Amino acid sequence: MIILGIDPGTARCGLGIIEKKGNNLTTVSYGLIESDKDRPHPERLEVVFSEVTRSIKRHKPDIVAVEKLFFSKNVKTAMSVGEARGVIMLAAQLAGVEIREFSPMDVKLALTGYGLADKNQVMQMTKAILGLKETPKPDDVADALAIAVCCASSSKMAGIIKQVVKPNQSSQVVKPKDKSQK
């Protein structure tokens, strides 16, 4: 299973791709999407959308794991990150890839066992779990890998049945499709 973890943002958006085989996790690739702060905001969102779309086409993930928006004192930053999340989720949706969302606390809990762990603890565990020699830089990239690891270790991954809710329909239980059925 291939998981694309994303730490959303318009200035910097971290991407981390991992593969899960049984209980083993390996790093496939990671990188950073950066957009010029002098460009108009819609153009910056287009850069994020295009690069996420390109990454999905290249790596063919089974799941895109995106960090949930958390409370921010800076409303402008929160709005910008929310818009980036929107174009990221649109890219995944248009590609037909399942989307999972994780809060920063979910990530901390999954990687360290403590929901209030500090960033350094999360980064050290990400490095150890993935067998990396050093923590990827900048933090956005390391965070994206941590989000992917969180997704791989979540209880949702262990289940065979998932809940699907479609607009204007009641919930129904369906079995997930394997990659050959997409």
> Within the chain, where are the H helices?
41-59, 75-94, 104-112, 119-130, 139-153, 155-158
Q: Which of 19, 51, 67, 106 is catalytic?
A: 67
Give Rg (Cα) of the chain. Answer: 16
Say how many CA atoms lie within 13 Å of 60 toward its Cβ.
5
Q: Is 155 helix (H, G, I), strand (E, B) or coil?
A: helix
Distance of CA 83 to the CA centre of its chain: 15
62 as an active site residue: the answer is no
67 as an active site residue: the answer is yes
Q: How far apart are CA 1 and CA 19, in angstroms?
A: 6
Q: How far apart are CA 168 and CA 137, in angstroms?
A: 43
Q: Which of 19, 51, 106, 140 is catalytic?
A: 140
140 as an active site residue: the answer is yes
Q: Which of 7, 19, 106, 143 is catalytic?
A: 7
Place of tokens 């270790």: 153
Q: φ, ψ for residue 152 (rounded to 5)?
A: -65, -30
Beta carbons of 98 and 63 less than 8 angstroms apart:
yes
Residues with catalytic function: 7, 67, 140
